Amino acid sequence: MSDERKNAKHKAAMEKQKSKVDANIEAADEERGVAILLTGNGKGKSSSAFGMVMRALGYGHKVGVVQFIKGQQLSGEEIYLKEKCPDVTFYQMGTGFTWDTQDRTADMQAARDTWAVALPMLRDPSYNLVVMDELTYMLAYKYLPEEEVIKAIRERPREQSVVVTGRGGGTALQDVMDTVSEVKEIKHAFKAGIKARQGVDY
């Protein structure tokens, strides 16, 4: 195929694509916050959530971040938000829950205490964005009542967006979310013996 033909073909394809996108933009006329679930086995769920935190902060939006996992080690996002973004409400479960813990009662209490921080944010219209990082595990282990979590997400202020991360999540949670993305693992450096990297993995 000549370059000229290739270019003409490409142009036609791009125009077709553009008209499709334009039609979708035209059709979207509802203005409200969105609920996003980032799930799947691949790397990129929490980092995507923190990407949205950065976007929101760029516009001076009010942001809350609640992490439903005990930090095995400090993460860059925690350091940055605590040190440089005093306006961001940051809370981490901190105690109780670890993967190898035997103390289910303590885990449940820690989950409930953390939920008690997240819930008021989901009821506070001054928050533009609320991130609940690794929340899905709390539902999977039944540390938190799924109906209550789903109800709080559904009944949140109209302008508020919420991002939930974590593997799994279940169909009831997926149903209440507007956007659900699955990060699929194709490969991961860790499996080739490469250590988790500061500033990239944590």
Does residue 41 bind ligand ATP (CB under 6 A)? yes
What is 100-152 written as a DSSP string?
A: T---HHHHHHHHHHHHHHHHHHHT-TT-SEEEEETHHHHHHTTSS-HHHHHHH
Q: How far apart are the first and last CA of the chain?
A: 48
Does residue 21 bind ligand ATP (CB under 6 A)? no
- Beta carbon of residue 45, minimum distance to ligand ATP (angstroms, whole number): 3
Residue with Cβ nearer ligand ATP (45 or 61): 45
137 vs 143: CA distance, rounded Å: 8
Residue with Cβ nearer ligand ATP (48 or 124): 48
Q: Which does 202 bind (CB under 5 to 8 A by kind): ligand ATP, Mg ion, none?
A: ligand ATP
Q: What is the helix (H) or strand (E) element at residue 89, kind and residue range?
A: strand 89-92
DSSP class of 199:
T
Residue with Cβ nearer ligand ATP (75 or 160): 75
Stretch that binds ligand ATP, among 14-22, 38-46, 58-66, 81-89 (CB under 6 A): 38-46
Stretch that binds ligand ATP, among 21-29, 79-87, 103-111, 183-191 (CB under 6 A): 183-191
